[in-house]
């Protein structure tokens, strides 16, 4: 259904000693963008195999995951429910409107108790024998999501593979598929996210596998931005024609740029940056701030 993603050189970041390429997962589909398709592919198949009629999941008002799930459900003849981290009566964001247009029914759980309500609903689902509604955790987190992410299959010749970390599902899949001589680095996008390493290890085949999380590039936290980050996003677009988003991918490319300046990587090494797709977060940015 989806083409193989291309690998492109990133001349803005590459040096005479460090080669930086990017895996353009953002190009595989205009709606089920990037890692979302990989994380959802086996959930959808499992739902169909178990005769579920409806997919359900959780996310915020600018969730790439909810839009992707809405469209994937429509493609496979499934109904879809999205439980949203927002209050009933708040303006419908363009992202949520897109999910509605693809057939998703929205249920607003509010902001203050969203995590508690989500956990309660998901736990009740796991204990229930009624699987007509197939629940997927926020962001596709889970072993089935990591199994799908392991099929991203980045080229094995790279010394370093670097990606953004939200729930940790994608990086878990990449770690599971990586060779022992490769260094896997994650850039958490949340501030003070102390539990994410544990959550990643829960999804690993080898619980003692080595990987590195660098927490200093969150730019203030989830969906937070800085002027330096915005300027870098525009620079990357102007020089390399690579669009990034404020929540995930721009933080990864920015981190690689800073780490190269700090001589973090070994000389004569190669780096693959996973462009995990999804530009929904940019819809919250004022017009004319970004060049793309």
Cite the DSSP H helix spans in the chain: 35-49, 64-75, 94-101, 114-127, 143-149, 169-177, 196-201, 227-240, 249-261
Q: Are residues 24 and 52 in the same domain?
A: no
What percentage of the chain has pLDDT greater than the value 70?
A: 98
The pTM of the full predicted model, rounded to 2 decimals, is 0.93
Is 1 contained in some domain? no
- Cα 280 to Cα 260: distance, rounded to the nearest angstrom: 28
Q: Which of 89, 107, 140 is the last residue of a domain?
A: 140
Burial class (CB in 10 A: 0-12, 13-18, 19+), 194: exposed
State how many domains the chain has. Answer: 2
259 exposed, middle or buried (CB, 10 Å; 0-12, 13-18, 19+)? buried
Answer yes or no: do 47 and 132 share one domain.
Answer: yes
How many other β-carbons are positioned within 10 Å of the β-carbon of residue 212?
A: 12
What whole-number percentage of the chain has pLDDT above 90? 84
Domain-terminating residue out of 140, 157, 173:
140
Return the pLDDT at 10: 98
Q: Is there a single domain that holds both residue 153 and residue 264? A: yes
Query: 160-210 pLDDT, tens per residue?
Result: 999 999 999 999 999 999 998 999 999 999 887 779 999 999 999 999 999
Residues 53 and 111 both lie in one domain:
yes
Residues 275 and 202 in one domain: yes
Whether residue 126 has pLDDT greater than 90: no
The pLDDT of residue 223 is above 80: no
| Residue 290 located in a structural domain | no
Residue 168 and residue 182: Cα distance in Å, rounded? 18
Is 2 a residue whose pLDDT tops 80? no
Q: Lowest mean pLDDT: which of 27-36, 52-61, 244-253?
A: 27-36
Lowest mean pLDDT among 70-74, 190-194, 277-281, 284-288: 190-194
Tell me whether residue 53 is in a domain: yes
Pair 23, 63 in one domain:
no
Q: How far apart are CA 291 and CA 279, in angstroms?
A: 13
SS (H, E, C) 208-236: CCCCEECHHHCCCCCCCCCHHHHHHHHHH
Tokens matching residue 124:
């009740």
C-alpha 76/C-alpha 69 separation (Å) is 10
Query: Checking DSSP bridges between strand 269-275 and strand 133-135, what pairing results, if any?
Result: unpaired
> What per-residue confidence (pLDDT) applies to 56?
98
- Please report whether residue 42 resides in a domain: yes
* pLDDT at position 79: 98
User: Confidence class of residue 221 from pLDDT cuts 50, 70 and 90?
Assistant: confident
Residues 175 and 280 in one domain: yes
Phi, psi torsion values for 12, nearest 5 degrees: -60, -30
Report the CATH number at residue 176.
3.40.50.1100
Above 90 in pLDDT, residue 16? yes
Res 1: pLDDT? 56
Residue at a domain's end among 140, 172, 190: 140
In a domain, residue 291? The reply is no
- Maximum Cα–Cα distance across the chain: 59
Q: Give the pLDDT score at 198.
A: 96
In this structure, are 156 and 267 located in the same domain?
yes
Q: What is the pLDDT of residues 53-106, one digit of tens each?
A: 999 999 999 999 999 999 999 999 999 999 999 999 999 999 999 999 999 999
| C-alpha span between 53 and 133 (Å, rounded) | 6
pLDDT at 155 over 80: no
Based on the domain organization, do 72 and 194 belong to the same domain? no
155 domain residue, yes or no:
yes
Is there a single domain that holds both residue 15 and residue 57? Answer: no
Quick one: 187 and 226 in the same domain?
yes
pLDDT at 234: 97
> For residue 41, what are the domain limits?
35-140
Same domain, yes or no, for 13 and 53? no
pLDDT above 60 for 232:
yes
């Amino acid at each position: 259904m989806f083409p193989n993603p291309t690998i492109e050189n990133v001349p803005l970041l590459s040096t005479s000693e460090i080669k930086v390429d990017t895996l353009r997962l953002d190009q595989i589909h205009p709606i089920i963008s990037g890692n979302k398709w990989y994380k959802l592919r086996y959930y959808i198949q499992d739902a169909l195999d178990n005769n579920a009629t409806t997919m359900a999941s959780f996310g915020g008002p600018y969730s790439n995951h909810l839009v992707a799930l809405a469209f994937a459900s429509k493609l496979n003849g499934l109904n879809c429910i999205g439980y949203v981290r927002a209050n009933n009566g708040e303006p419908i964001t363009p992202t949520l409107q897109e999910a509605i247009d693809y057939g998703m029914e929205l249920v607003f759980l509010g902001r203050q108790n969203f995590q508690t309500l989500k956990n309660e609903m998901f736990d009740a689902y796991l204990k229930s024998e009624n699987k007509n509604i197939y629940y997927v955790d926020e962001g596709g987190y889970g072993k089935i999501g990591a199994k799908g992410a392991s099929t991203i299959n980045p080229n094995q010749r790279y010394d370093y593979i670097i990606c953004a970390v939200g729930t940790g599902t994608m990086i878990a899949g990449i770690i599971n598929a990586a060779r022992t001589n490769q260094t896997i680095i994650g850039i958490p996008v949340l501030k003070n996210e102390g539990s994410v390493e544990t959550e990643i290890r829960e999804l690993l085949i080898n619980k003692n596998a080595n990987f590195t999380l660098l927490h200093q590039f969150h730019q203030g936290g989830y969906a937070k931005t800085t002027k330096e980050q915005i300027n870098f996003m525009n620079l990357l677009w102007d020089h390399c024609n690579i669009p990034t988003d404020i929540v995930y991918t721009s933080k990864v490319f920015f981190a690689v740029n800073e780490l190269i300046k700090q001589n973090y990587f070994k000389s004569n090494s190669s780096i693959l940056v996973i462009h995990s797709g999804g530009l929904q977060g940019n819809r919250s940015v004022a017009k004319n701030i970004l060049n793309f």
